[in-house]
Amino acid sequence: MSSTPAWFANQRRARNVVWRRTLLAASLLSLCLVGSTLHALLAGKRPPLLFSNNSSTRLPSGVPQTNLDVDGPLSPNEPSSVCPQPRPLVPSKHHTVDEQLHKLFANETYKMAAYKAFGGAIEIPTESYEDLLPVGEDDRWDIFGELHEYLEKTFPRVYASLEVTKVNTYGIVLHWQGSNDTALPVLMTAHQDVVPVAPATYDDWIHPPYSGYYDGTWIWGRGSCDDKSDLMASLQAINTLLELGFEPYRTFVWAFGFDEESAGTQGAGHLSPYLEIRYGTHGFALLLDEGGSAYGTAYGGDVVFAFPGLSEKGYLDVQIEVTAPGGHSSAPPPHTAIGMLAALLTTMEDNPHPALLTRHSSAYNATQCAAAYAPSFPAYIRRLAREAERSDVALAMLRDALLEEFGLEYEVLLRTTQAIDLVEGGVKVNALPERAAAIVNHRIVQESSVAAVEARLSALLQPLASRFNLTMDAFGGTLLPQPTEVAGNGTSKGHVSLAVAFGYALDPSPVTPTGPNDPYQVLAGTIRGAIADSPRAWDEGRNVSGVVVVPQIEHGNTDTSRYWNLTRNIVRYSHVREGDRYNGFHTVNEAIRAEGWLDSVRFYTRFILNCDEYL
């Protein structure tokens, strides 16, 4: 799992570059603006014509001339056309059950039993490795059998009351039949596996990584945040509702994969076709999986923001391989295979993918939500966001301002990212390398595709390959069949090849619809209601003024990448408050605040009740 950071938690950074970029864009459209903005920049002030509170101020030609005396952020309870918020949902038909749950979650005996059950699951090291063979061919899968025994022992009521199906031995599907056979079921997912703990880091943990230890505040261990937390919260929620006698109107289904942290082929890769065959293509009303950023006051002030993921970036690993004649290193050519590979990689890093901000994209919608409601959002960007609704010039200015103001937080939102992660080459210090290779990871923005990234990369590197007199093929096509020059023996000086690594690539996901009648509204309304009436929403005696739900795009990929055929309504959201993860996930000292995890159990029960009533 990859969590998107809370983008706007950073303090203000220097904005001089913003003004220079803004000045450049404006000067191309209106010469009369140049003098005043340049004067302001030289004086160390903001350009007055764009950002003055004077209502007579005019934007550059091409930007609608509107009143720039823009008010501050809206109250969370005020409506916004650019960031509509659903009403907070609390159960009505199931009000009695909800009241019973509220009392139960305050009961110390219940809490201790829940924490113990969660900790016991963490004790089982269900590590997922990149080199695992298929189930049945690798005994490292056997540990998942131990986890299954533990779950059945810990939640006998769940396993006795729900239909349980095992898929590819270790995938788990739970089916809770509702009284209405015609209503589309709701699907919730989580994964049983965790990333491995490096043995060299064991001594760096405050408590052992597979202890599941509860110290009175935190529950420690690998998987406490990702994703034994959602797995056990789901089972705890089901078990609690069963104990209270809840009988659903709508059918609910849970699917638990077991290799999300590696390839996903053995878990979700098998669960997906099973679910599609049984429930049909687009056979679910809504799917809820892990993801999203922690909710909290990310934008300052006392407004709580929650960030469900409604889409995911695409994925592509590219292998770049250079081969060249070998020989003794005492008589080297001007460029060895490693040197040529280094030049290709440097060219890539010197030419990042363009930043794209388009209307109605996930990044654009999230920005409009921040502009509408965030207390500490920069006023000049708030103004640009409002003008960008109808002005392409302002939209371009907004893109540049976001990149300069927030840096990496927006770089990963607006660009297809590229990361050189693996490099190899050479076998001996006195032998010229005959092969050098690297793998570059790409996370693809909504506006692009795998094919577009491949085409851009091929075009970018072809001139350099030609300069090095290399032949070249890229993604199954030949680009340079003959070198411009040949070596002394009449052969090419080498070859460069671009290919999809590991045989896997993924276009950006579809975007979950957020219309007034779409299932997303039930999820968003549940988030608002669950946070607003939770005792923990009153942080250390400080009142919160409201809750805003901000849809976003996920940088990483979850098991939902396998589930696109099951529903058009996929939401990635884990109900965790900022500060409730001790040290994040996939690192040492992974731990979750116990009360925070219990809140996620409460959220799942509320989500089930609301879906049963309002969906």
Q: Which residues are catalytic?
A: 193, 260
- Annotated binding residue at 226? yes
Strands 286-289 and 186-191: parallel
Strands 435-444 and 477-480: unpaired
Structure token digits, residue 281: 């293509």
- Annotated binding residue at 95? no
Residue of 64, 65, 570 lying closest to 292 (CA atoms): 570
The C-alpha atoms of residue 430 and residue 328 are separated, in whole angstroms, by 6
Contact between 223 and 127 under an 8 Å Cβ cutoff? The reply is no
The C-alpha atoms of residue 527 and residue 525 are separated, in whole angstroms, by 5
Residues with Cβ within 8 Å of 584's Cβ and at least 6 positions away in sequence, in order, are 3, 225, 590
The C-alpha atoms of residue 572 and residue 365 are separated, in whole angstroms, by 17
Looking at residue 244, its amino acid is L
Structure token digits, residue 446: 């909504």
The C-alpha atoms of residue 429 and residue 205 are separated, in whole angstroms, by 39
The C-alpha atoms of residue 47 and residue 22 are separated, in whole angstroms, by 9
Strands 435-444 and 417-425: antiparallel
DSSP sequence for 464-497: HHHHTT-EEEETTEEEESS-SS--TTSS-S-EEE
The C-alpha atoms of residue 212 and residue 384 are separated, in whole angstroms, by 48
Structure token digits, residue 214: 């509860």
Residues listed for the chain: 615
What does each C-alpha distance from 65 to 17, 51, 52, 56, 444 come to in angstroms?
25, 13, 13, 9, 35
Q: Dihedral of CA 502/443/447/463: which sign?
A: negative
Contact between 240 and 97 under an 8 Å Cβ cutoff? The reply is no
The C-alpha atoms of residue 569 and residue 518 are separated, in whole angstroms, by 8
- Annotated binding residue at 98? no
Q: Dihedral of CA 148/150/155/156: which sign?
A: positive
Q: Is 20 helix (H, G, I), strand (E, B) or coil?
A: helix
Looking at residue 478, its amino acid is T
Structure token digits, residue 148: 């299954």
Residue of 500, 470, 150 lying closest to 317 (CA atoms): 500
Structure token digits, residue 213: 């230890």
The C-alpha atoms of residue 254 and residue 252 are separated, in whole angstroms, by 7
Residue of 500, 505, 507, 388 lying closest to 447 (CA atoms): 507
Residues with Cβ within 8 Å of 407's Cβ and at least 6 positions away in sequence, in order, are 10, 13
For the beta carbon of residue 83, count every other beta carbon within 10 angstroms. Answer: 20
The C-alpha atoms of residue 615 and residue 97 are separated, in whole angstroms, by 18
- On the CB side of 428, CA atoms within 13 Å amount to 8
Residues annotated as binding site for Zn(2+)? Answer: 191, 226, 261, 289, 586
